[in-house]
Each structure stands twice: as structure tokens, then as C-alpha cells.
Amino acid sequence: MLTNNKNVLKWVDEMVALTKPDQVVWIDGSEEQLNDLRAQAEASGEMLKLNQEKLPGCYLHRTAVNDVARVEGRTFICSRKEEDAGPTNNWMDPKEAYAKLGEIFEGSMKGRTMYVIPYCMGPIGSPFSKVGVEVTDSIYVVLNMDIMTRMGKAAFDQLGDESNDFVRGLHSKAELDDQKRYICHFPEDNTIWSVNSGYGGNVLLGKKCFALRIASYQGKQEGWMAEHMLILGLENPQGDVKYIAAAFPSACGKTNLAMLIPPEFYSKQGYKVWTVGDDIAWMRIGDDGRLWAINPENGFFGVAPGTNVKSNPNALESTKKGTIFTNVVHDLDNNTVWWEGLDKNPPKNALNWKGEKWDCEAGEKGAHPNSRFTAPAENCPCISSEFSNPQGVPISAIVFGGRRAKTAPLVYQSYDWEHGVFVGSIMASETTAAAAGAVGVVRRDPMAMLPFCGYHMGDYFQHWLEMGRKLGDKAPKIFNVNWFRTDDEGHFIWPGFGDNMRVLMWILDRCEGKADAVETPIGYEPKAEDINIEGLDIDLGTVKGLLEVDKDLWKEDAAGITEFYAKFGDKLPKELKDQLAALKERLDK
């Protein structure tokens, strides 16, 4: 036995009695045990060993065809009171959920092995970190959790023999029946039950389920924040590093921003960017009164399509060893992998993500659009030296962003924390022409947490406001960015990618009181000449255009916000109601 913790032992016994596995294997995290599991997964066909010269330690996995993404419609917050889940979550009564899923779990591991995975979210030994235990019947889950978390005996050592403070995660692939697929969270019980899926976001319970949904609830109770944010460090030529946390809805380039390559203009002078995290930040107020963040994860679960040497060389490099690829193209001649947007040479002799013979010329995509790599953070060439610092890193700026063709300017700063919470709460992205349906439909996604907030979003806004009051004048400054403004032909105006650093530079200068700003109805904006465009193909006039605030569009937006806010009823903090009214007033002036 790996632990003497009676709470763990009792709970695992209960899960064994429910799911009835043939045997139980405790995951100690040793290379020997992991190698044994890799060999078993290879023998069963669950994982395919790739070319070990080109991709050492790398494997390919294919999910069931009906099981390729997070299923928000089947994801539930099972708080005792429906009101506590709020209007943006699906809710199920916990008694009903335990009974309903209990029936599905009953005997679901017969003939299978149950793996007991102890894992730590955050660096081992950090006072910010939290322990989880996931039991699962999937070797794929074990091997992914090994990459994404600090997994094994050290996690039990961190928990100790007496503590009951661990998140209980039960997962079974069961029959992969999408009609009986449920991802249920019981925030009041520190418990997650996930059944009938094998897709990462639904089954790597440390990630979205624990580190965001359960942790956001814990953060509210305990006075800290769990956010859907990347963390990056920007080092100046003197060697000082300032840290930024940034939230974006999916498909807005979070991983790319986290691993940004500075434009030559800056790199020549000695500026560098370091990655602390690409998806999740846990943030607390430190002894010095500032906001400190850790990345609770230990790897990247990134979207493969579109990742290439140009868009994100650091992410690509991270996938060269010890990586698990899911639902990408299998190049049979080289026994390697490929995906759309990797390069212009799709393999001729290949299988698509479903494992069928694939003809790259026939027009059908080879990799699933949500195909993924699970890569160890330590592989990343720009991983921060503070990645495993138990204290985390101090945050100077919080950045929100979305995909807006016209409304939002390239960058603006909130007047203060309270206004910043308002700016985060109205975050939105527009649907693009790439997706079916109407173009330009605005989807509100407050703080990019819409699918990940484990409690009532009105209470979540209130928590943000309270954190600001505690931080006082030590609070990070809050900004909003939009890399996605388009011209009349629909082309992006701002070059994006590495050049986003030019905007981050203004943001950090503002934090240090080194840059001026212009007051507009929506917040402070840079003077156009304060965005450095040296070496870029755009002129000052273009930057001015990117910073323009169209009052009519904003009035339309304010009407949309009013409608969105109405959902929250009495739970909408008065401060945000007042902020909206003040915005309308400024727009009318």
C-alpha cells in the first residue's frame, strides 16, 4: 500500500465495492511501473509506440469516434442547492447524481484493473498545492496524468496520513456510451465522477474538473482564485522579470501567447519571454500583499492543428519526446505523426485520426480539429526557472481578451480593479467564418470561465471584487486585448503572434508608471506612438485605427451586456450594475 491515510483507504474501498475491478494497482509513479503500463497499452493497441529515434518516448492514441471533446451539455455541478450552481451551469441534485451515476458505475470495472492515481496539483511541497486521487480503468489516463501532474507516491507524502483534504475522482470508461456520459462535480464533497468518456478534458480529472471547477469553489471558500489563465514572465535586458496572467476563451491563442517568441527588435536587446503556464493559474495573496500565482499543472494538453515552427516553435519542440498524441494523423512510412497546419507535406501513406487509410488529396481532414498533444512542461525550451517555485510568481498585470472583429481595441486598461472585474465579466468572442452558422455572433465568456466556474457566476464576480478589496493598491493592473480586429475585407490588421509582445510592453510600462495613456469611454488606451511598431509592416495610422473606439458599436455591446447580466438576477453585484450604467453614461456623453 502506498499510503496509510485512512480517508484514502476507506474511499478507495468504497469505489472498489462499487465498480468491482478484478484487481487494483496503486500508481507509485516509478519509471518501472510506467514502462510496464506502456508495454501493456501497446500490447492491447490502446497506444501505439511511435518512431523512437525521431520521437523518443512518444505514443499515439485514438479515442472513440463519438468521444473527441469536452461535453459541456453533459457536465454538471451537483451542489446541494440548485441556486449555488447558477444560471450558467447544468445542475443535478447530488443525491440524484450519485444514484444515477452509481448505477452506471456499478460493476463497470469487472474484468478490468482499477488504477489508483495519487497526484499533486502544483509543485510538491508548495503551500499552494492540493492533492487529488483519481481511480480509473484507463491506462491512457494514468500515462496522461503522469505528464500533466506530479503523480505518484510524493503526492501521498504531501497529503500525509491524517488529512481528508484531497479531491476524490472516480473515472470509468464503462462502455463509452455517449447517452450515458456524465461529468459530475460535487464541490461540497470534493468529489468528481466521470463516466463513459475517454477524452482528456473529461477524464484527466486534475485539469478542468479539479483545477478549475472544484478549485474555483475552494478558492471562494478559502480566499484565493483558480483561473483559466496562462502565466508568462517577460524579462528585460537588465534581467528583471515581470509576470502577466491572461485569460482568453478557447481558440484565441493562449498557448501561443504563453510561449511567445519576441520579435527580433526586442530579442536583440536581450528581452526574453518565459512560460510558467498555458492554461490554469491558482492565485493567492502573498505575505507581501501582492497576488502570487502557480501553474497547478506539469504539462501541456495542447491543440495540435495549427501548431508549427512559425506559430509556436516552443510548443512544437515540447512534443519531441515523452509526448502522447491523440487523434492526429499517423504517418506509416516514418511511424511519426502529422496534423493540418504542421507543414505543407502531408504524408502520402497514412491513417487519419480514426485509423482509416487517409488520402491527403481527397479534401477530408486527417487530424481531428481537436486533436491534442500531451507534452511535459520540462520539454519546453522557454519554461520558466520559476515553474516549480513553491511560492509561485508575483503577478503585475492581468489581461483579458477575446476575438472581436470591430468592437474591442487592440488594448485598453481598466480604470481600477472594480472596473477591471467589469471588463473581465463582459469578455466575449465572435464566431468566425470557419465555423458553421452565423458569423460575428457574440458569445459572452466571463473571464473565459463560463464552462469552468464550479459555482454561481454572480458569486464568482463578488469573489473577484473581494479579492480586489484585500489586495488594495498592491492589486495587479487589469487590461483587455484584442488581436483579432479585421479590415473591411475581413483580414486581420494586427500581425499577432510574437508581435503581441509590443502590446505586453505597453502593459508592463503602465504597471511601472512609465507610459502615458489616453482616457476613453471604455478605459485607458495607449497613445498610438507608444505601441512600438519598429520592423513592422504597419504605420502609425493603422495603430490609431486599431485603438479606435466606435461608440455606436459599444452602445450595441452595452445592450448585449445588459441582456447577459439579466441572467444573474439578484446575484449580480451592485458594483457591476453600476459599472455598466457608468459605461452607458460615458458612451452617451
Q: Which residues bind ligand OXD (CB under 6 A)?
A: 70, 201, 250, 279, 301
- Round to whole Å and give the CA distance between 267 and 474: 30
Q: Which residue has the cell 491527403?
A: 360
Q: Residue 245 Cβ, how far from ligand OXD at the closest point, in Å?
A: 15
Q: Give Cβ neighbours of residue 558 (< 8 Å, ≥ 6 apart).
A: 580, 583, 584, 587
Q: What angle do CA 36, 39, 40 make, to 5 degrees?
A: 90
- Which residue, 254 or 404, is less far from ligand OXD as judged by CB? 254
- Which residue, 166 or 300, is less far from Mn ion as judged by CB? 300
Query: Do residues 151 and 29 lie in contact, with contact meaning Cβ atoms separated by under 8 Å?
Result: yes
Q: Residue 228 Cβ, how far from Mn ion at the closest point, in Å?
A: 6
Q: What angle do CA 98, 101, 103 make, to 5 degrees?
A: 105
Ranked by CB distance to Mn ion, the top (closest) residue is 279
Q: Which residues bind Mn ion (CB under 5 A)?
A: 279
- Which residue, 336 or 429, is less far from Mn ion as judged by CB? 429
Q: Residue 146 Cβ, how far from Mn ion at the closest point, in Å?
A: 20
Picking from 195, 235, 252, the residue whose alpha carbon sits closest to that of residue 445 is: 252
Q: Residue 16 Cβ, how far from ligand OXD at the closest point, in Å?
A: 31
386 binds, among ligand OXD, Mn ion, none (CB under 5 to 8 A by kind): none
Which one of 209, 252, 360, 511 is the catalytic residue? 252
7 binds, among ligand OXD, Mn ion, none (CB under 5 to 8 A by kind): none
391 binds, among ligand OXD, Mn ion, none (CB under 5 to 8 A by kind): none
Picking from 67, 184, 206, the residue whose alpha carbon sits closest to that of residue 135 is: 206
Picking from 403, 406, 423, 399, the residue whose alpha carbon sits closest to that of residue 547 is: 406
- Which residue, 280 or 408, is less far from Mn ion as judged by CB? 280
- Round to whole Å and give the CA distance between 572 and 589: 26
267 binds, among ligand OXD, Mn ion, none (CB under 5 to 8 A by kind): none
Ranked by CB distance to ligand OXD, the top (closest) residue is 250
201 binds, among ligand OXD, Mn ion, none (CB under 5 to 8 A by kind): ligand OXD
For the question of residue 120 being annotated catalytic, the response is no
Picking from 269, 41, 3, 23, the residue whose alpha carbon sits closest to that of residue 138 is: 41
Q: Please classify residue 235 by burial: count the beta carbons closer than 10 Å to its beta carbon, then call 0-12 exposed, 13-18 middle and 19+ buried.
A: middle
Q: How far is CA 523 from CA 312, 424, 428, 549, 583, in A?
A: 31, 13, 17, 10, 9
**Biggest alpha carbon–alpha carbon distance for the chain:** 72
- Which residue, 201 or 468, is less far from ligand OXD as judged by CB? 201
Picking from 126, 113, 192, 116, the residue whose alpha carbon sits closest to that of residue 151 is: 116
Q: Residue 358 Cβ, how far from Mn ion at the closest point, in Å?
A: 28
Q: Residue 201 Cβ, how far from ligand OXD at the closest point, in Å?
A: 5
- Which residue, 201 or 392, is less far from ligand OXD as judged by CB? 201
554 binds, among Mn ion, ligand OXD, none (CB under 5 to 8 A by kind): none
Q: Residue 279 Cβ, how far from Mn ion at the closest point, in Å?
A: 4
Query: Do residues 187 and 247 lie in contact, with contact meaning Cβ atoms separated by under 8 Å?
Result: no
- Which residue, 15 or 212, is less far from ligand OXD as judged by CB? 212
Query: Do residues 359 and 348 lie in contact, with contact meaning Cβ atoms separated by under 8 Å?
Result: no
Instruction: For residue 274, count other CB atoms closer than 10 A to its CB.
Output: 22
62 binds, among ligand OXD, Mn ion, none (CB under 5 to 8 A by kind): none
**Looking at the annotation, which residues are catalytic?**
252
